[in-house]
Structure 1
Amino acid sequence: MAKRRKLLSRKLLSGKLLLDGPWRALPVLGVTQVLAWGSLIYPAVLIVPRIAAERGWSLSFAMAGYSAALLAGGLVAPLVGRTIDRRGGHGVMTAGALIGAAGLVGLTLAAHPVAYVAAWAVVGVAMAASLYESAFATLGRLFGAAARRPITLLTFVGGLASTVSWPATAALDAALGWRGCLLVYAALLAGVAAPLLALALPRRPADPVPAADSGLGSAPGSPTPAPVLPPRGRPFLLVMAGFAAYAFVPSALAAHFLAILQRGGLDPSTAVLVGMLFGPCQVLARVAEFAFAGRTHPLLLARFAFGLILAAFGLLAGAGLSVPAAALFYVMFGASNGLVTIARGTVPLALFGPSGFGVLVGRLAAPWLVMQAVAPLAMALVAERTSDAVALAVAAGCAGVALACFSVIRRPG
């Protein structure tokens, strides 16, 4: 009887934590991450060409606005992290949703090139305050050293954003035009995401004792207290350089790889079909990490992820741009990127600890976003002046730099 009462109390406590405690952050951030990624990031590939065509601008200039957004996000990311550390994520992320709504409205009104770039810069500030970096910093503040599991769980939901956003964007554009599409997204950010973040996102950190008793914080994925490194010097610079080098890869491939496949002989519909493997494989890799790799140090997972994408490039170089090779490449690329997304939150936590985690994530996010902004243009220049093979070799080289950086980092203790 006593054992049954204890089990019942644990279940009740788990439910209370999910409804009233810090674990409520997961459903709140899950919804708002889908809205943020689906409104600020993924629509660009479909909407920007429509803006360029209507306003008579070159596609390269129109896409430069999106790059300006990423640069702006990189500049403000450290400030966002510091503010989350001091005041919590509820205020910062609410402001991010409202700023994002304002930036999207600005894009619908900006007829002058300067106004257009300025509107994208506003959207970039919202990116820094709304996407994974701010969500990871918020979870780090709420859960401390036990934030690995919440971070991993959040990426499950975030991985669905592209699956939702691209069809929704295409449907809204067809029904309402690109302006109507952006206004709908602005309304969702201001009317759904902002109130959720302001009113429902927890503000108090988790109590480590009840969390452990509930079984939510003491499962295999939860780290035990361990020595940490100071967030400065050679280890921190290696982590920063490794993640920044890898950031080139998904940004460059997202902008150019489908076109490279088509120039290599795949018809457009087949190339798009193959590319659809990326999203599901990304989510499946995260599920596998959660289920089977909970006790594996995040540094080892990061090394595996970087090695996997390097192997994918090697496969492509050896087998050529055939349909099977391209499909297998996307499977490996998706799995690698899914693991790297988790590593961006869990590696800093494991190496440097939860103290000042928001500042840490913000400092690491700045070069990541800058590299994402530079990558599409750099990849295009290399492909135009040399060849697609050389451009892919450059991307592979960046993945190699990331692996090299993480290979020389030593775990504390």
Structure 2
Amino acid sequence: MTAWRDLVFGPGRAVVVLALTQILTWGILIYPPVLTMPLLTAAHGWSLAFGMAGFTLGLVTSGLLSPYVGGLIDRHGGNVVMASGALAGALGLALMPVAMHPVAYFACWLLLGTAMATNLYDPAFATLTRIFGANARRQITFVTFAGGFASTVGWPATHLLLAKLGWQGTYLTFAAVFAFVVAPLHAFALPRHVADMPVSVPQTAAAPAQAFLPPAGAAFLLLATAFALYSFILSGVTSNLLALLDRGGLGAAEAVAVGAMFGPAQVASRLADFVLAKRTHPLWIARGAVVLVASAFALLALLGVSFPVAALFAIGFGAANGVMTIARGALPLLMFGPVGYGRVIGRIARPAQFVQAFAPFVVASAVQTLPDRGVLVLGAVAALVVLGCFLGIKTPGDARR
């Protein structure tokens, strides 16, 4: 009974609120462009590449703002920051149907980039850490578990809205969801509870070793590099997977079926992490996930594209990404502690979002100029570099041994 009361009246309410809003924000900001962009660009007479440049601008804007957003959440909480960002997103979505000039179109994406920086996983992790402190890992896991359903909800909902309302009506509906659902939930339903944070004291010869590492130096650089390179792999592969499978000989229905396996595998691995969170270490989880990614690339490169092999690739990659998202929230908390966590995770997110924005174009160029096996081998090598970064990281507990 106490647990249920906490989910309604106590700090635990943050998990319920953010689980719902993550589904909505990912399902509106990230997944729909692949469906809406062909219609929008055709209506304006623009190329699809020009239209997608707006999405890239949104991601770059999000990366630029991430550390500042995290710092604001550290100081003021998610209520003010996430709600304000949701209203900025609502404005950008509402203006999109009337943004006929390229400058106006890119201005909309600046607003949507602000919404990304203030409403996706990183600000949600910062909000949870401000509320639950160093014990936020399970809450982070649950929110990412719910967020894994965003594509399951976002793509069918977008397809239905496009069929019923057209692309303009779809964007106006999304704007209404942000203005009248997401923003009020963040403003009024997120609890304002703040965890008791450890107070930093000067170290003396007799004092125990520092519990957390400073967010600087080799450990921080290795962590930021690992997540940035992994984001490059993820963004590049997911945006070009169907093209690779098509070139490998799979039919359209088979390729779509393979792509559909990514989401369930992602959710299943997050559920497993949620159940086993007290018995697993996020650094070893990250290392294992990257080994799985490298193995998936090697399998597809060695055996070639067939439906069973491609399905194994999608399931392995999806399962790995499911727990890597959790590691991105849990590892900085474990290594650097809850004090200033929002700004730390924002600094880690910045390079990851930059490379995520440009990865689809880079990988698409590689797909066009290199043989498929060469592209897959490069993916496996990149995953091994990520693994090397994670292997070079030592947690505070390792440093004391």
Q: Same fold (TM over 0.5)?
A: yes
The corresponding residue for 1:166 is: 155
Runs (4+) of structure 1 moved beyond 6 Å?
Answer: none
Q: 2:253 aligns with which of 257, 262, 269?
A: 269
Q: Which runs of 5+ in 2 are unaligned?
A: 198-208
1:96 and 1:125 in contact (8 A); partners too: yes
- Work out the CA distance in 2 between the residues paired with 1:294 and 1:393: 35
When the two structures are aligned, how many residues end up with a matched partner? 386
The corresponding residue for 1:238 is: 222
TM-score, normalisation: structure 2: 0.93
**Partner of 2:158: helix, strand, or coil?**
helix
Tell me if 1:256 matches 2:240. Answer: yes
Shift of 1:292: 2.5
Deviation larger for 79-88 or 16-25: 16-25
- Work out the CA distance in 1 between the residues paired with 2:373 and 2:90: 40
TM-score, normalisation: structure 1: 0.91
**Partner of 1:294: helix, strand, or coil?**
helix
1:248 and 1:398 in contact (8 A); partners too: no
Tell me if 1:97 matches 2:86. Answer: yes
The corresponding residue for 2:180 is: 191
Tell me if 1:306 matches 2:295. Answer: no
1:137 and 1:358 in contact (8 A); partners too: yes
The corresponding residue for 2:107 is: 118
- Work out the CA distance in 2 between the residues paired with 1:117 and 1:394: 33
1:252 and 1:395 in contact (8 A); partners too: no
The corresponding residue for 2:274 is: 290
- Work out the CA distance in 2 between the residues paired with 1:281 and 1:371: 24
1:249 and 1:396 in contact (8 A); partners too: no
The corresponding residue for 1:136 is: 125
Q: 2:46 aligns with which of 53, 57, 61?
A: 57
The corresponding residue for 2:360 is: 376
- Work out the CA distance in 2 between the residues paired with 1:332 and 1:226: 37
**Partner of 2:393: helix, strand, or coil?**
coil
**Partner of 1:409: helix, strand, or coil?**
coil
- Work out the CA distance in 2 between the residues paired with 1:387 and 1:95: 47
Task: Name the amino acid aligned to 2:8.
Answer: L
Query: For 1:294-351, what per-residue CA distance to the aligned partner results, in whole angstroms no more than 9, with x for missing partners?
Result: 2221111000111110110011011101110000000001000001000010000111
Shift of 1:396: 2.8
Please give the residue correspondences for 1:359-374 in structure 2 after superposition, counting only pairs within 5 Å.
Answer: 359-374=343-358
1:261 and 1:321 in contact (8 A); partners too: yes
The corresponding residue for 1:152 is: 141
2:298 and 2:377 in contact (8 A); partners too: no
Shift of 1:206: 4.4
Tell me if 1:392 matches 2:381. Answer: no
- Work out the CA distance in 2 between the residues paired with 1:15 and 1:256: 43
The corresponding residue for 2:303 is: 319
- Work out the CA distance in 1 between the residues paired with 2:279 and 2:193: 27
The corresponding residue for 1:412 is: 396
* C-alpha RMSD of the superposition: 1.5
